[in-house]
Structure 1
């Protein structure tokens, strides 16, 4: 089940989604989604794209019951869900370079983040979620959050450097990219995240 709703950048930061910066790509993925994939009109999320067309690697998300938790990851309301962020999926090469920049099948953890959208009965985007894989087949319910329309608008109105800097975990006055290059690689060298298909 969804852990909660993220309404502010500080809540996104506390959620841990897409962190640490390289190898994780989730923060850049969410920025691209909010800044370039969607827009807002009359209080609704709108897009020139349709996730069901498969652009940018979007594909159907099957909201199956998790055997360990005996529940669906997302609300089960007979509405279609689509996910994006699997850098191995067909069409993901259409994502911007900054989302794919650090991707390598040999780097642990850099293909575990996803953005999931739910369509309403008219085919419009009406819910947005972020999550991460807990293993190659399952997503982590404790790391699954709804992203409010307000937070998406906050992200859309920022430059990428502003957005990433506000989510940084250091107090130093460095750009997010500079901070990322100073961080050490994770101790866990397993690369199964990168091979998810």
Structure 2
């Protein structure tokens, strides 16, 4: 019983930390971490489509150095300077850029599947990637040391064009490497390998359906299936488990209250 109540107290403490620490940014280090994000509801699934494209566009070296192969000052891929005036990200002598404005027309354009994703994965141009540029490397490559996914507030929130700090996440090089395994092209063998490696419940018939539906973007389709649908199932299971644990805690408390009252009556 003490283990159960302790686990609940830990969960409650963690939840309180998230709710009361507006400046804290959650770190996403793996596909499993992505599953815990509420894609499709509080976070547009288009964020995941954009992140998949980004992971397969940048270069990552053996020292976790991430290089952009385009100039964000030029407006490539919907990029522009981000002043961080609202203090969303760490302050200091940092230079940030946002990437992913699908309506920005200058510079290199985002690929069609990012600009016009399948209807169920559209995000009304709210999703963005923010990078912190450290310096310019050899051959003119921009070296970045931090990557975030974020989103603009909903228009109904009346927050203007600010980004939502509660839906801003720091992306590690390890997560980018995992996403890069879901390359832009993949055969059936690769799809099966990725499914088995990242713990998806997709069966062989569903895998063939993904391949037939998504074609050359089948790996992206599988990533979305693993993160969005499997993640929803995992969150529902965790919620059910927490409810059971909470009920056990209430019963535990009620038992001690009744036991204490009974002892007082006999005293």
TM-score by length of 1: 0.71
Cα offset, 1:93, TM superposition: 7.3
CA distance in 1, matches of 2:49, 2:175: 15
Asked if 1:131 is matched to 2:131, the reply is: no
User: Which stretches in structure 2 are left out of the alignment for 5+ residues?
Assistant: 1-22, 137-141, 154-158, 183-218, 232-267
CA RMSD of aligned residues (A): 2.7
Asked if 1:19 is matched to 2:79, the reply is: no
Please point out which of 145, 149, 155 is paired with 2:169. 145
**Residue 160 (structure 1) aligns with:** 220
Q: Give the structure with the higher percent strand.
A: 1
**Residue 62 (structure 2) aligns with:** 42
User: Which stretches in structure 1 are left out of the alignment for 5+ residues?
Assistant: 66-71, 172-197
**Residue 72 (structure 2) aligns with:** 51
Report which structure shows greater RCO (CA 8 Å, sep ≥6). 1
Cα offset, 1:109, TM superposition: 4.5
Q: Deviations over 1:123-160 (max 9, x none)?
A: 41111001111243211111111000000000011131
In the alignment of these two chains, the number of paired residues is 160
Over 3 Å off, 4+ runs: none
**Higher Cα Rg, which structure:** 2
TM-score by length of 2: 0.54
Q: Give the structure with the higher percent helix.
A: 2
User: Bigger shift: 138-147 or 156-165?
Assistant: 156-165
User: Bigger shift: 138-147 or 121-130?
Assistant: 121-130
CA distance in 1, matches of 2:105, 2:152: 19
Asked if 1:29 is matched to 2:50, the reply is: yes
